[in-house]
């Protein structure tokens, strides 16, 4: 990288909104700034460079961003006297220069494919008088962000993007309009990255894409996700997760690979969005309620211990009480052990935004509350079923509320708490894999004690 004297010694702070892809991109932004000689700080008021990695999936994420970014206008100047505010991620890609209509203090706008341009844009912003906005939202011909240096949040877990963009055009979703069409990395590039991560001590990888099941289609002419899973498994990485999966593309060869490969974790996040075939059609999801449940049946037959989670949208335009009851019954039949539930958020520029809807807000809120209660009940029951068993936990660190309690995730992705064993230091356990005997099962976490030695 060309040396940029304008950036050496500058302090920076990054705030990330939205999905795992943004978390990964934020790690690359930090990696790039580290390489330019910048210093990460934990307080935005002390930062010369403030970066917001934005998300436009839901309206409230826009509003939170506008609130937090605008607060930088009245924030005290950093010790150096000049602060540059940079906006990246999906809103930057969508709005470009127009972002200044909402965030007057934006100095730099860099799109989802323009991470590598950020240092140059920042250097230009520091060199001018603060009146111009430096913009780069070009997508074509840009390398994957994964080829850039990374400053990983965790030494033992890594996000590994395998593809970007989406070809599905679900009628409520802005992603294909913002992140463009599907583009996969080559298998060799993904495998080489995971091999390097393993050599660096990473124990768990999460393969990322908007629709991982169609991985490879634009390179190899057909999806090759099952083969990718097998090759990533052969690197010897101890735990493999992946997200997101679209049910319409989840094929039997992927199910067979998940069932056979011991390092693919027994948890699948499979977004259903609605239990009503009529609503699924209006969403352009391209599967029916029956096809989804049949797929769940095949998954459970192949992997009886599989934990299944999902995403559900409540209040899609035109959703009736009958449609909603179909969603509740599907949640029961599929046996989800957790779910991210959302009230439909209208995104300008999507087909669903044009569908008229006069369902009162209170009706939608009531449906949301009923769904949330059912999801909580099933989460509690699923955790109760694990009482007395041993959960294999990758330890992340001490609890924010109690430093004597350690927190990690089980293979089924449950949050697990356990007291720091006597004679053990926190540092011995962070990044270790331990067996925890489950003694208490709450709705959103398990609690127990460690058996045997950490690995
Ligand atoms: S699969 Fe549908 S919801 Fe997911 S990113 Fe693509 S268009 Fe959006």
Residue 427 domain boundaries: 390-451
Do 56 and 117 share a domain, yes or no? yes
Do 84 and 51 share a domain, yes or no? yes
SS (H, E, C) 120-160: HHHHHHHHCCCCCCEEECCCCCCCCHHHCCCCCCCCCEEEE
- Ligand 1 atom closest to Cα of 210? 5
Contact 168, 209 (CB under 8 A): no
Residue 268: pLDDT over 90: yes
- The residue among 174, 94, 91 whose CA lies nearest residue 347 is 174
Please check whether residue 151 lies inside any domain of the structure: no
Rounded to the nearest angstrom, the distance between the alpha carbon of 295 and the centre of ligand 1 is 19
Contact 307, 264 (CB under 8 A): no
Rounded to the nearest angstrom, the distance between the alpha carbon of 403 and the centre of ligand 1 is 39
Atom 8 (ligand 1): residue with closest C-alpha? 173
Contact 244, 57 (CB under 8 A): no
Please check whether residue 189 lies inside any domain of the structure: yes
Rounded to the nearest angstrom, the distance between the alpha carbon of 188 and the centre of ligand 1 is 26
Please name the helix (run of DSSP H) or strand (run of DSSP E) that holds residue 293, with its range, or none.
helix 289-302
pTM of the model: 0.88
Cα–Cα distances in angstroms (integers) from residue 159 to residues 2, 205, 231, 304, in the given order: 27, 6, 17, 27
Domain boundary among 361, 384, 407: 384
Rounded to the nearest angstrom, the distance between the alpha carbon of 136 and the centre of ligand 1 is 24
Do 181 and 297 share a domain, yes or no? yes
Do 165 and 308 share a domain, yes or no? yes
Please check whether residue 153 lies inside any domain of the structure: no
Residue ranges lining ligand 1, Cβ < 6 Å: 166, 168-170, 173, 175-176, 210-211, 246
Contact 339, 444 (CB under 8 A): no
Do 271 and 342 share a domain, yes or no? yes
Name the residue of 176, 270, 279, 283 to mutate for ligand 1: max ligand atoms within 8 A of Cβ.
176
pLDDT digits (tens, 9 = 90+) for 38-53: 999 999 999 999 999 9
Contact 86, 49 (CB under 8 A): yes
The DSSP string of 365-417 is: HHHHHHHHHHHHHHHHHHHHTTTTSEEEEEEEEE-SS-TTEEEEEETT--EEE
Domain boundary among 332, 350, 384: 384
Name the residue of 22, 112, 165, 168 to mutate for ligand 1: max ligand atoms within 8 A of Cβ.
168
Rounded to the nearest angstrom, the distance between the alpha carbon of 20 and the centre of ligand 1 is 14
pLDDT digits (tens, 9 = 90+) for 321-348: 999 999 999 999 999 999 999 999 998 8
Please check whether residue 2 lies inside any domain of the structure: no
Q: At what angle do helices 252-260 and 289-302 cross, to 10 degrees?
A: 30
Do 281 and 412 share a domain, yes or no? no
Contact 269, 243 (CB under 8 A): yes
Mean pLDDT of the chain: 92
- Count of structural domains within the chain: 3
Q: Is 169 left (phi over 0), alpha (psi -120 to 50) or beta?
A: left
Q: Binning pLDDT at 50, 70 and 90, where does residue 361 land?
A: very high
**Helix, strand, or coil (residue 227):** helix
Do 394 and 380 share a domain, yes or no? no
Write the CATH number for 433. 2.40.50
Domain boundary among 360, 384, 408: 384
Do 120 and 166 share a domain, yes or no? no
Please check whether residue 152 lies inside any domain of the structure: no
Contact 46, 77 (CB under 8 A): no
The first and second tokens of residue 67, run together, are 């609130």
Write the CATH number for 106. 3.40.50.12160
Contact 109, 136 (CB under 8 A): yes
Rounded to the nearest angstrom, the distance between the alpha carbon of 21 and the centre of ligand 1 is 13
Write the CATH number for 192. 3.80.30.20
Do 355 and 223 share a domain, yes or no? yes
pLDDT of 143: 65
Please check whether residue 312 lies inside any domain of the structure: yes
pLDDT of 71: 83
Do 79 and 200 share a domain, yes or no? no
Residue 17: pLDDT over 90: no
Do 313 and 191 share a domain, yes or no? yes
Do 266 and 355 share a domain, yes or no? yes
């Amino acid at each position: 990288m060309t040396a940029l004297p304008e950036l050496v010694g500058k302090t920076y702070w990054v705030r990330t909104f939205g999905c795992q892809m943004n978390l990964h991109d934020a790690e690359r932004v930090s990696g790039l700034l580290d390489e330019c000689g910048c210093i990460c700080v934990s307080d935005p008021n002390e930062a010369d460079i403030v970066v917001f990695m934005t998300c436009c999936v839901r309206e409230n994420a826009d509003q939170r961003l506008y609130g937090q970014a605008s607060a930088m206008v009245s924030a005290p100047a950093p010790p150096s006297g000049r602060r540059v505010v940079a906006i990246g991620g999906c809103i930057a890609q969508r709005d470009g220069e127009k972002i200044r209509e909402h965030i007057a203090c934006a100095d730099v706008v860099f799109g989802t494919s323009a991470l590598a341009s950020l240092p140059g844009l920042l250097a230009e912003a520091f060199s001018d008088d603060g009146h111009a906005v430096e913009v780069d939202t070009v997508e074509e011909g840009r390398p994957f962000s994964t080829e850039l240096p990374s400053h990983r949040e965790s030494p033992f877990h890594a996000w590994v993007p395998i593809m970007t963009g989406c070809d599905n055009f679900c009628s409520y979703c802005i992603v294909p309009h913002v992140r463009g069409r599907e583009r996969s990395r080559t298998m060799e590039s993904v495998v080489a990255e995971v091999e390097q991560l393993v050599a660096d001590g990473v124990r768990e990888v999460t393969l990322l894409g908007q629709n991982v099941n169609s991985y490879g289609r634009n390179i190899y002419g057909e999806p090759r996700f099952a083969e990718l899973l097998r090759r990533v498994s052969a690197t010897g990485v101890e735990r493999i997760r992946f997200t997101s999966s679209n049910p319409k593309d989840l094929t039997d060869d992927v199910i067979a690979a998940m069932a056979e490969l011991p390092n693919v974790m027994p948890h699948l996040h499979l977004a259903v969005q609605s239990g009503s075939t009529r609503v699924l059609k209006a969403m352009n999801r391209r599967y029916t309620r029956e096809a989804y449940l049949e797929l769940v049946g095949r998954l459970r037959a192949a992997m009886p211990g599989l934990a299944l989670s999902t995403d559900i949208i409540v209040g899609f335009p035109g959703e009736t009480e009958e449609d909603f009851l179909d969603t509740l019954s599907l949640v029961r039949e599929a046996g989800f052990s957790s779910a991210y539930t959302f009230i439909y958020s209208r995104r300008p520029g999507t087909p669903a935004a044009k569908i008229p809807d006069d369902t009162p807000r209170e009706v939608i809120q009531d449906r949301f509350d009923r769904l949330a209660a059912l999801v909580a009940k099933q989460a509690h029951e699923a955790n109760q079923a694990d009482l007395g068993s041993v959960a294999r936990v990758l330890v992340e660190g001490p609890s924010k509320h109690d430093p004597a309690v350690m927190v990690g995730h089980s293979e089924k992705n449950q949050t697990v708490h356990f007291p720091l064993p006597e004679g053990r230091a926190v540092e011995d356990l962070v990044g270790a894999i331990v067996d925890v005997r489950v003694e208490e099962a709450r709705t959103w976490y398990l609690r127990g004690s460690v058996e045997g030695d950490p690995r």
